[in-house]
Structure 1
Amino acid sequence: MSVISMKQLLEAGVHFGHQTRRWNPKMAEYIYTERNGIYIIDLQKSVVKVEEAYTAIKKVVSEGGTVLFVGTKKQAQDAIKSEAERCGMYYVNERWLGGMLTNFKTIKSRIDRLREIERMSTDGTFDVLPKKEVIKLKKEWEKLEKNLGGIKNMKKLPDIIFVVDPKKERICVQEAHALGIPLIGIADTNCDPEELDYVIPGNDDAIRAVKLIVSKMADAVIEANQGVQLTDTTEEASEADDVEDMEAAEMDDEESKEVNIDDSDLEEAFTE
């Protein structure tokens, strides 16, 4: 049985690329056609690439490895967090701190500090400290949790990394390359696919498209762990997604995409 269907990809808008004036020629092999100044991604190839990425993650996890999910752009933040938590893996969805991988020893010291403050909040330390000191500690805690909360249980470097938009996450990509950590990523038509070990050609700006692909990567982890799912996110409100998609569509012209293209014939075309 296929990991993902053409219909799922089409309905989520995975096929919408960027404006033709904003593209990377290296993505040419993944482009099906152009309509109204927008590149249309070849979903036949996307299906195959999702399968390859799914298999890669499943293999890593089945051998005891870990996955780091990375997506700091607005459209990816919620999906990265919820799906990583659902499958019990690590994530960065707020800000990529330089050295998160290449200077992991220092990052671990900040994680230790986060854990220390968490302990202080539960062991009664806060109760005996001056109010001003507690306020200061809580602010520090909030900042550390925001930036490091998704990796606070990560004891060592991840074995594979999944990124939404390698162009946006270029520092993460550079650090992964330096350390030889394999990369999987959603690559839109303005990205360089050569930066990734496993390319998933697709729309990295639409919330539904991102969520669909991220959820499949989380499913791979769950399957490798024999179906263990830590949180249930299958019934999240679709109305919230609708609102978020509308907000994303209202972003500036450089990041938004025209979605009023008549694509009713694309599913048939992709399967010809």
Structure 2
Amino acid sequence: MAANTDQIVENKLYVGGLKKFSNPKTMKYWADVVDNVVLFNPEFVSQQLENARKKVQEVKNAGGEVLIIMDKQLYKDDLESLCEEQGVHYFNYKVPAGVFTNFETLKSRIKQMNELKDFIQSDDFSALTKKEKSSTQKKLKKLESIYKGVKNLKALPSLVIIVDGVYLSNFVNEVERLGLDNIIVTNSEFNRYRDEERLLMTNTNSYKSLDFVLKYILK
């Protein structure tokens, strides 16, 4: 059942950005401007939510891999919990540049992280000095802070969901250049035209909005 207007309003999905920063290319999704704030048409938001959920389910049902990229501290821990629960890969901290273009480099970082994790559980680690143990643990912690959400990613994902297409515009460019299937979750500042099947125009600056959107399309 599609999200209704009451849910969209209650969870603030319809609230865009300030008009002076909003891009005219997003105007078709606007319903109004109140106190210089763009308000999205709830019907568009509802349809795009449904499109995104359908695409995610199709990929998962076909055995494909879904990856979410988001670098928003207000939802960092929640994204980790949600993705772990739903079997979805994620980046939620200092997303490395060129992650898809340099996929072999990404795989080497994941391998290094997994090997360090195994090493720390081994007898060889127990034999290290206190200083060596601390150095190894710090190295693992740094790698995990960035790569733990993709520890099981073996190949390029079937679907990439980029949350905040304005802030992460470089990743939008990358997935489009490589032809990776994608969904862009973005706000009224977004500066390009896109296929509506791959766009979710919503409030990207509210915890409540992000929580509703991500749970809706992943579950």
SS of alignment partner, residue 205 of structure 2: coil
Q: Structure 1: any 5+ residue segments left out of the alignment?
A: 220-272
| Corresponding residue for residue 95 of structure 2 | 96
Structure-2 change in CA distance of 1:144 and 1:98 (3 Å): same
Matches within 5 A, 1:261-272: none
Structure 1 residues 169-222: Cα deviation after superposition (integer angstroms, max 9, x where no partner): 122212211211122122211113535651111100000101100111211xxx
For 1:126 and 1:84, the matched residues in 2 are separated by 31
Aligned twin of 2:163: 164
Q: Distance in 1 between matches of 2:182 and 2:192?
A: 11
Q: CA deviation at 1:106?
A: 0.9
State the match for 1:106 in structure 2.
105
Q: Does 1:41 align with 2:46?
A: no
Deviates more, 1:12-21 or 1:174-183: 174-183
**In structure 1, the residue corresponding to 2:20 is in which secondary structure?**
coil
Scaled by the length of structure 1, the TM-score of the pair is: 0.77
Q: Secondary structure at the match of 1:56?
A: helix
Deviations 1:76-103 (CA, angstroms, capped at 9, x unpaired): 3233222211101100000110121111
What is the alpha-carbon distance in structure 2 between the residues aligned to residue 150 and residue 194 of structure 1? 30
- SS of the residue 2:63 aligns to: coil
Checking the alignment, whether the CA contact within 8 Å between 2:38 and 2:188 is kept in structure 1 is yes
Conserved 8 A contact 1:67-1:162: yes
- The letter of the residue matching 2:172 is V
Secondary structure in structure 1 of the residue aligned to 2:17: strand
What is the RMSD of the two structures over their aligned residues, measured on CA atoms?
1.4
Match of 1:69 in 2: 68
The residue type equivalent to 1:81 in the other structure is: E
Deviates more, 1:184-193 or 1:130-139: 184-193
The alignment partner of 1:91 has SS state of: strand
In 2, distance between residues paired with 1:80 and 1:192? 26
Q: CA offset at residue 125 of structure 1?
A: 2.2
Cα distance in structure 1, aligned partners of 2:119 and 2:103:
24
Number of the residue aligned with 2:207: 207
Greater than 6 Å deviation, 4+ residue runs:
none
SS in 2 for 1:126: helix
**Aligned residue identity for 2:208:** R
Q: Distance in 1 between matches of 2:75 and 2:187?
A: 14
Equivalent residue letter for 2:41: D
Is 1:216 the counterpart of 2:206? The answer is: no
Letter in structure 1 aligned against 2:50? E
The answer to whether the 8 Å contact 1:75/1:210 transfers is no
Structure 2, gaps ≥5 residues long? none
What is the CA deviation profile of residues 101-140 of structure 1, one whole-angstrom value per residue up to 9, with x for unaligned ones? 1111011111111011100111222210121111111111
Deviation at 1:157, TM superposition (A): 0.7
CA contact (8 A) 1:16 1:39 kept: yes
State whether residues 16 and 38 of structure 1, in contact with CA within 8 Å, keep that contact through their aligned partners in structure 2.
Answer: yes
On the 8 A contact 1:187/1:193 being kept in 2, the answer is: no
Q: What CA distance in whole angstroms lies between the structure 2 residues aligned with 1:46 and 1:178?
A: 26
Q: Deviations over 1:1-60 (max 9, x none)?
A: 32x222111111111111110111110000000101111111111001111111111111
| Correspondence 1:148 to 2:153 | no
Amino acid at match of 1:213: V
Query: How high is the TM-score relative to the length of structure 2?
Result: 0.95
CA distance in 1 between partners of 2:70 and 2:96 (Å) = 13
Deviation at 1:163, TM superposition (A): 1.5
